[in-house]
Amino acid sequence: MTSHKFKVGEKVQLARDPFNRNPGVYEVLALLPQEHQGWQYRIQDPTSKQQRVVIESRLSEVEPR
């Protein structure tokens, strides 16, 4: 059985796609159940405080500077 790749409090990179106009670095707020497309996360933009739910395949590790 697999589990979530990212942990609560971790910074993640949200990928750009045709429906997402706000890619960038977000913070993981909560681990959500797995759906047909994969594990889900509640993430938050640290600047605007906007929250969203995304599937794990849209997220990646933040590259070190």
33 touches 46 (CB < 8 A): no
C-alpha–C-alpha distance, residues 32 and 53, integer Å:
9
Strand partners, 54: 41
Encode the chain (65 residues) as per-residue pLDDT tens digits.
Answer: 589 999 999 999 998 877 767 889 999 999 999 988 899 999 999 999 999 999 999 999 998 77
C-alpha–C-alpha distance, residues 51 and 14, integer Å:
12
Q: Where are the domains of the chain?
A: 11-61
